[in-house]
Each structure stands twice: as structure tokens, then as C-alpha cells.
Amino acid sequence: MKTSLLFSEKQIEAQVAELAKQINLKYGTEEVIAVGILKGCFVFFSDLIKHLTTSTICDFCSVSFYGQSIRAKQTASLSLNMSQPIQDKHILLIDCIADHGYSLKHMQDHILRHKPKSLTSVVLISKPEAHKTASIDFSGFRVDQDVFVVGYGIDYKEEGRSLPYLAQLEDLN
């Protein structure tokens, strides 16, 4: 797997801390249920919640559009639902990357059907198309639509998740 560096560990660390600062300002002392979209978010989720000063309950969900393909599908598969009741609660939806925004939009719609007090979405990386599809309240890095990102929990066919930095996949073969 040939890659080129996009964002270093230090750049990621600084961006995660900045995102947490913005989230802390938004919520103050309010309790938040942080919901991570698995699998890719787990590294970002872990680092982000370490910086949150608000009371935080952790939960996870899983929705898939990719499987073994790099082309996004618009039909969702919710394979893991949240375990916490979310009605009248502040929800912080966390994802690692918003490519086209389909996963994020699917989960936002799902959560809103349960009538939370508020829903805020944060992604570490976003692409232009995602902002047309889903509501993204906080975004760390922005990359071009054609950039395929791996590392820091994000994979390509289950490879590259363990890279401690974010890289562009150079060869999709």
C-alpha cells in the first residue's frame, strides 16, 4: 500500500484539541452522549473525548456503505445501534471522515427520529460533497473529493488503520 503524508501526528493532535475546545464551549457543563460511528472513528473518538470537559457518556453505532468497495453506496446498513436512550439528550455524533456524507446523514436522520434535545456532528476530515449531504457542525481537516485517506483508524480494505498519521492512498490496486 503506497501512501503519502497528508497530516502528521502533531497536526492531528492539535486539530483534535481545537475541535474539543469548540465542543466544550458549545456544551459547557451539559451532559453529552458521544456516539461514535464505527469502525473508523475509534481512534479519533478516543482522542477527542480525552479533551472534553463536559460530562460525557460514550456509545457507538455502525453503518456501512463501502464494504470492500471504494465507491460509496447510497443504501445504508445499520449493523450496530446505540445502547443509550437518547430522547431529550444532547448527542455528539462523531465520525472520522465524511466522504459523501451518506453515513453521517443516515445516522443523523436515525437519531433525530428519537427526538434528542440537540444533535451536533463532528468529523476529523470532510470532503466537499459531504457538506452538501449532511450537516457538519465541526470539521477538522478538509481534503479534495478525489483524495482517498487512510490511517488514524481509517482503512482501505481493512489495511492502514494502525498508521498514527493521515495519509493519501496513492495506489488503489
Buried/exposed code over 34-48 (b: 16+ C-beta within 10 A; e: otherwise): bbbbbbbbbbbbebb
Domains and CATH numbers, the chain: 10-144 (3.40.50.2020)
* Predicted confidence (pLDDT) per residue in 126-168, tens digit: 999 999 999 999 999 999 999 999 999 999 989 999 999 999 9
Whether pLDDT at 48 is above 90: yes
What angle do helix axes 9-27 and 42-51 make, rounded to 10 degrees? Answer: 60
Active site residues: 99
Angle, CA of 81, 57 and 64, to the nearest 5°: 30
pLDDT given for residue 162 in this prediction: 95
pTM for this predicted structure: 0.90
Q: Residue 169: pLDDT band by 50, 70, 90 thresholds?
A: very high
Buried/exposed code over 122-152 (b: 16+ C-beta within 10 A; e: otherwise): bbbbbbeebeebbebebbbbebeeeebbbbb
Whether pLDDT at 67 is above 70: no
pLDDT given for residue 159 in this prediction: 92
